[in-house]
């Protein structure tokens, strides 16, 4: 099925997941951001204005002098609910940063409006427990670390605003190509692994532990971690979040985590671990539209691992595909082998086999948007 035939996801349908994000999650998030800082009157007015707009108005433009105003004109003047969901969400986060003055000269420049939520999470006891658990994992723990990076994707602060923390009901992934992933990364094979990160804190820490494992065991000779260039989707990781996660690992003396942090620090200093933050990672477009410089960079990868739900939507296209659409067909234009590690938190899914889909549909409980199911898909 071509993208012309599979409807693009929008929030037009009352009762749809996309509608609930736009109509409920975004206003609730604006409330939390408003309460998280002593914003001065002009910033508060801007946040209130955005709240009014997303609660029923039409999409307004960015200020004309915004450095990137020209890139966001596509759907201005339309209803938030009628434009592509991926565009609407991305633009919402860009507008939120405009309201808080993130890019403007002045005291609020560069202040992450989601910083307090991210810091709370990173300080939390759950991270202590997860770090302590690393002490029990032996050298042959690749599969356990891969699972931990996979399920770490549940730790997404935007998602957790409307979902309970409970244990996933299905711990067995609905698609599991992990054997294929390991076959791409033999020990001593000089692989270069790129990881396109998703959330900070409780997701990024297991991602870093996985990268350390690949480098330390010789499954990768080099790795590159791709972060967001600015705050996005509440908890998406920017460079400051990466450095905070690295500190959290290193600050666990006597525990395996400290050794992992020290090794990552050395790998960064030696250039065996690179870090990127390309602007396209905050763009409202699918990965098949990536610019040439990013395409060239990713084409060096033995495999690119994409974390999370949003990266998955951008990878396969944010359309209502039949769930049995082959994953390989949807990622054919990605520059090189690709692995998606994602918990299911939105309507889009491809690459399921028919028996799995039948079982999921027969279960009678929601499975696409609840974060209770996960997948590991690899192509080719």
Ligand X SMILES: O=P(O)(O)OC[C@@]1(O)O[C@H](CO)[C@@H](O)[C@@H]1O
Q: Give the interface with ligand X as residue ranges (CB under 6 A).
A: 21, 25, 89, 153, 156, 158-159, 198-199, 233, 308-310, 313, 345-346
Between 177 and 347, CB nearer to ligand X: 347
Considering the complex, what minimum distance in angstroms separates the CB of residue 372 from ligand X? 13
Give the Cα separation of 253 and 245 in Å (integer). 15
Give the Cα separation of 29 and 24 in Å (integer). 9
Give the Cα separation of 60 and 83 in Å (integer). 13
Give the Cα separation of 231 and 282 in Å (integer). 9
Between 101 and 317, CB nearer to ligand X: 317
Give the Cα separation of 255 and 282 in Å (integer). 35
**DSSP assignment of 340-353:** EEEE--SS------
Considering the complex, what minimum distance in angstroms separates the CB of residue 17 from ligand X? 8
Q: How far is CA 19 from the centre of its chain?
A: 20
**In which region does residue 331 sit, left (phi positive, over 0), alpha (psi from -120 to 50) or beta (all else)?**
alpha
Give the Cα separation of 192 and 335 in Å (integer). 14
Between 98 and 237, CB nearer to ligand X: 237
Considering the complex, what minimum distance in angstroms separates the CB of residue 206 from ligand X? 14
Between 13 and 353, CB nearer to ligand X: 13
- Cβ atoms within 10 A of the Cβ of 8, count? 15
Tokens 């990013």 map to which residue? 294
Give the Cα separation of 240 and 195 in Å (integer). 17
Spatial contact of 101 and 109, defined as CB atoms under 8 Å apart: yes
Q: How many helices (H) and strands (E) does the chain have?
A: 16, 7
Considering the complex, what minimum distance in angstroms separates the CB of residue 219 from ligand X? 25
In sequence order, which residues have a C-beta less than 8 Å from that of residue 205 and are 6 or more positions away? Answer: 127, 130, 131, 152, 245, 248, 249
Considering the complex, what minimum distance in angstroms separates the CB of residue 85 from ligand X? 7
Considering the complex, what minimum distance in angstroms separates the CB of residue 345 from ligand X? 4
Considering the complex, what minimum distance in angstroms separates the CB of residue 163 from ligand X? 9
Q: Is 171 helix (H, G, I), strand (E, B) or coil?
A: coil
Spatial contact of 59 and 76, defined as CB atoms under 8 Å apart: yes
Between 302 and 346, CB nearer to ligand X: 346
Between 72 and 87, CB nearer to ligand X: 87
Between 127 and 340, CB nearer to ligand X: 340
Between 117 and 159, CB nearer to ligand X: 159
Spatial contact of 308 and 332, defined as CB atoms under 8 Å apart: no
Considering the complex, what minimum distance in angstroms separates the CB of residue 325 from ligand X? 18
Between 220 and 237, CB nearer to ligand X: 237
Considering the complex, what minimum distance in angstroms separates the CB of residue 86 from ligand X? 8
Torsion of CA 99, 100, 105, 108, to 10 degrees: 170
Considering the complex, what minimum distance in angstroms separates the CB of residue 215 from ligand X? 24
* Cα torsion angle, 300, 305, 309, 312, sign: positive
Between 153 and 302, CB nearer to ligand X: 153
* Cα torsion angle, 313, 318, 323, 327, sign: negative
């Amino acid at each position: 099925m071509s993208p012309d035939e599979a409807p693009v996801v929008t929030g037009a349908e009352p009762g749809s997941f996309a509608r609930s994000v736009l109509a409920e999650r975004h206003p609730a998030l604006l409330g939390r951001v408003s309460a998280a800082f002593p914003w001065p009157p002009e910033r508060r007015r801007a946040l209130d204005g955005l709240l009014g707009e997303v609660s029923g108005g039409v999409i307004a433009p960015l200020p004309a002098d915004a450095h990137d105003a020209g890139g966001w004109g596509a759907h201005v003047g339309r209803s938030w609910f009628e434009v592509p969901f991926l565009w609407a969400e991305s633009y919402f986060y860009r507008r939120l940063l405009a309201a808080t003055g993130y890019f403007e000269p002045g005291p609020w420049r560069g202040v992450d409006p989601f910083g307090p939520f991210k810091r709370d999470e990173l300080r939390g006891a759950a991270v202590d427990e997860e770090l302590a658990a690393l002490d029990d994992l032996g050298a042959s723990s690749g599969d356990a670390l891969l699972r931990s990076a996979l399920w770490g994707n549940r730790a997404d602060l935007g998602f957790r605003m409307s979902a309970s923390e409970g244990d996933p009901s299905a711990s067995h992934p609905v698609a599991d190509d992990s054997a294929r992933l390991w076959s791409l990364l033999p020990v001593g094979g000089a692989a270069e692994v790129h990881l396109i990160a998703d959330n900070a804190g409780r997701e990024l820490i297991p991602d870093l532990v996985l990268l350390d494992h690949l480098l330390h065991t010789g499954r990768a000779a080099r790795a590159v971690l791709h972060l967001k260039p600015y705050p996005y989707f509440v908890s998406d990781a920017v460079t400051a979040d990466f450095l905070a996660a690295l500190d959290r690992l290193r600050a666990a003396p006597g525990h395996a985590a400290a050794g992992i942090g020290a090794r990552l620090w050395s790998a960064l200093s030696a250039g065996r671990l690179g870090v990127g933050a390309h602007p396209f990672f905050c763009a409202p477009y699918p990965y098949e539209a990536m610019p040439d410089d990013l395409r060239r960079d990713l084409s060096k990868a033995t495999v690119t691992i994409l974390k999370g739900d949003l990266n998955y939507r951008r990878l396969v296209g944010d359309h209502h595909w039949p769930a049995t659409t082959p994953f390989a067909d949807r990622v054919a234009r990605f520059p090189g082998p690709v692995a998606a590690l994602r918990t299911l938190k939105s309507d889009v899914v491809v690459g399921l086999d028919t028996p799995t889909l039948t079982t999921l549909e027969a279960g009678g409980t929601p499975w696409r948007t609840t974060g209770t199911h996960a997948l590991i898909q690899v192509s080719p």
